[in-house]
Amino acid sequence: MKKPFVTLEQAKKIIETYPTPFHIYDEKGIRENARKVNAAFSWNKGFREYFAVKATPTPAILQILKEEGCGADCSSYTELLLADAVGQKGEDIMFSSNVTPAEDFIKAAELGAIINFDDITHIPFFEKLAKIPETVSCRYNPGGVFQVSNSIMDNPGDAKYGMTKEQMKEAFKLLKEKGAKHFGIHAFLASNTKSNDYYPMLAKIIFELAVELKNELDIHIAFINLSGGVGVPYEPDEFECDIMAIGEGVRRVYEEVLTPAGMGDVAIFTEMGRFMLAPYGALIATAIHEKHTYKEYIGLDACAANLMRPAMYGSYHHITVLGKENAPCDHKYDVTGGLCENNDKFAIDRMLPKIDMGDILYIHDTGAHGHAMGYNYNGKLRSAELLLKEDGSVEMIRRAETPADYFATLDFTGLLK
């Protein structure tokens, strides 16, 4: 059973100051989870989690994670600015992007970030903009289908990211010739995996590649970045990954492959967004309309502009009607927003308690790729973000958008003054 981290009483009090809809984050849960991740990989002296800024690009959240020892994984110019703003410097930042504009590479080089090249053609492109740094990384794509046991997790061969093995070899040769001295390998083969075996299996693939590259090219492999992909249980009965077991699994493969090859100094990096934040954020909304036609509909004051995942992917997000946690789920609803799009639905044919107008709905697991994916279709304005602090107080960490924000890029016309 999924349990909200705010009660009906807390929500009502918050709404007195901050009207729905809003995203709220649990500081205590975020910190505890970050500490657990660090503990799971504490066997590796150089371990570091580089939080995927794209998941929750909010400075207050980035600051909390920085305080817990995390770096920042950035993929754009603006994300680099956010990382810099919270004090992440130099190799605290991993820059992993694709189809990268020149200005993004220039900013990453200016900040001293670790550059993770997605394609071999990016190397000469980058060299026209900045000097090749001594520490660099390249992104590997082994192709084919990736599966754990008999379960297909994803299809790397269809992904636009990363280089083939032969391209990795050529890239590292080229980078070595241009002065690079320390090399990293990065790979991302599957998203939101529900298995403790994903990271260890991915690690074995990359570790074996690392040994091959070290021996063939006579280079120093400084780190291996397992990227993200560790999933969370969006549905109540889904498998919940055990990060301690995952860390132990990676340790065993490390000692099996890297240690005998004389590579016991290789640091392990991760880049988790979803696992670090998703369960520790929620979208709070109010039921404002009901409709009885061919189906039963409940309309919220939130919409896909606040949480795009269900509309975009058909993703499941659990819903709790605050104050009715123990009531029978004997009503079938489509829970919708007000966009002029029929896919603007948070839930379809969802069994829930009877919902009355004014009820407060808690939509779970929106802490990653929730507010961040918001947009302004239909002139909808993105909501505020709040932080439930460890002492129980609530702080606004991003205000809600206003019509003035929506029109700000039109202010040159004179029509809206």
**Confidence tier at 4 by pLDDT (50, 70, 90):** very high
Cα 17 to Cα 8: distance, rounded to the nearest angstrom: 15
pLDDT band at 154 (very low <50, low <70, confident <90, very high): low
Helices then strands (H, E): number in the chain?
12, 19
Residue 85 has pLDDT above 70, yes or no: yes
Residue 152 has pLDDT above 80, yes or no: no
Strand 331-336 and strand 345-352: the pairing is antiparallel
Domains of the chain listed by start with CATH number: 8-22+279-410 (2.40.37.10), 41-272 (3.20.20.10)
- The residue among 370, 358, 362 whose CA lies nearest residue 284 is 362
Q: What percent of the chain has pLDDT over 90?
A: 92
Q: How far is the C-alpha of 273 from the C-alpha of 369, rounded, in Å?
A: 8
Please confirm, yes or no, whether 340 is among the known catalytic residues: yes
Find the mean pLDDT for residues 377-400.
Answer: 97
**Of the listed 74, 138, 329, 340, which one is catalytic?**
340
The HSE-up count of residue 105 (CA atoms within 13 Å, CB side) is: 21
In this predicted model, what pLDDT tens digit does every residue of 14-66 receive, in sequence order? 999 999 999 999 999 999 999 999 999 999 999 999 999 999 999 999 999 99
pLDDT in tens, 318-335: 999 999 999 999 999 999
Residue-level pLDDT at 150: 46
Work out the pLDDT band at 151, boundaries 50, 70, 90. Answer: low
Q: Check residue 272 and give its pLDDT.
A: 96
- Please name the amino acid found at residue 355: I
Nearest 5°: CA angle at 108, between 105 and 112?
135
Phi, psi of 220 (to 5 degrees): -95, 115
User: Could you tell me which residue, 411 or 100, shows the higher pLDDT?
Assistant: 100
| pTM (2 d.p.) | 0.95
| Structure confidence at residue 156 (pLDDT) | 73
Phi/psi for 268 (5° steps) reads -105, 130
Q: In this structure, what token pair is assigned to residue 231?
A: 């999933």
Instruction: Report pLDDT digits (tens) over 271-299.
Output: 999 999 999 999 999 999 999 999 999 99
Task: Report the relative pairing of strands 360-363 and 281-292 from DSSP bridges.
Answer: antiparallel
pLDDT surpasses 60 at 149: no
Mean pLDDT of the chain: 95
Of 189 and 26, the structure prediction assigns the larger pLDDT to 26
pLDDT at 143 over 90: no
**For range 356-365, the mean pLDDT:** 98
C-alpha 168: how far from chain center: 26
Q: How many angstroms from the chain centroid is the CA of residue 293? A: 38
What angle (nearest 5°) sits at the alpha carbon of residue 203, between those of residues 199 and 204?
A: 125
